């Protein structure tokens, strides 16, 4: 079946540090890939997405490139801020399957210290 694997957290960084959160996937078909962010006590917000190989999703300084050859969709940001502290989820959805819903990774907590 479909699955998403993320690096375990928490990831603790100082403000202005470079961020990478790794995400790899297995999929039964051709997936779309997503990053969602969850702030404490809230629902999830879409951060960025990519729907085909070599696409780069970007938003709010975050980027991720769809790498089909390595089945990866790593999240990066050049300079993190305290306000980026949250849990980040990698997810996928696959076309042409009976199940039309997102499959999520376990989430990676990011803590940014001033």
List the x/- string, 84-103, binding to other proteins by CB under 8 A. Answer: -----x---xxxxxxxxxxx
Among 49, 66, 77, 88, binds other proteins (CB under 8 A): 49
Give the span between the Cα atoms of 58 and 75, in whole angstroms: 9
Best CA proximity match to 44, nearest among 103, 86, 92:
86
103 Cβ contact partners less than 8 Å away, ≥ 6 residues apart: 2, 3, 4, 91, 92, 93
Cα 31–Cα 34–Cα 38 angle in degrees, nearest 5: 150
Q: What is the closest distance, in whole angstroms, from the C-beta atom of residue 36 to other proteins in the complex?
A: 8
Does 114 sit near other proteins (CB under 8 A)? no
For 4-17, b/e burial (b = at least 16 CB within 10 A) is: bebbeeebebeeee
Among 40, 43, 70, 114, binds other proteins (CB under 8 A): 43
The residue range among 17-25, 45-53, 56-64, 75-83 that interacts with other proteins, by the rule CB under 8 A, is: 45-53
The residue range among 13-21, 31-39, 66-74, 75-83 that interacts with other proteins, by the rule CB under 8 A, is: 31-39
Query: By the criterion CB under 8 A, which residues form the site for other proteins?
Result: 4, 32, 34, 36, 41-46, 49, 51, 89, 93-107
């Amino acid at each position: 079946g479909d699955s998403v694997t993320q690096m375990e957290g928490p990831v603790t960084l100082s403000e202005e540090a470079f961020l990478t959160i790794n995400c790899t996937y297995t999929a039964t078909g051709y997936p779309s890939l997503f990053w969602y962010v969850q702030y404490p006590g809230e629902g999830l917000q879409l951060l960025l997405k990519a729907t085909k190989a070599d696409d780069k999703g970007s938003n709010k300084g975050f980027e991720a490139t769809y790498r089909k050859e390595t089945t990866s969709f790593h999240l990066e940001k050049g300079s993190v801020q305290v306000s980026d502290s949250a849990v980040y989820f990698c997810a996928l959805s696959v076309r042409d399957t009976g199940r039309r819903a997102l499959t999520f990774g376990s989430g990676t907590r990011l803590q940014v210290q001033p």
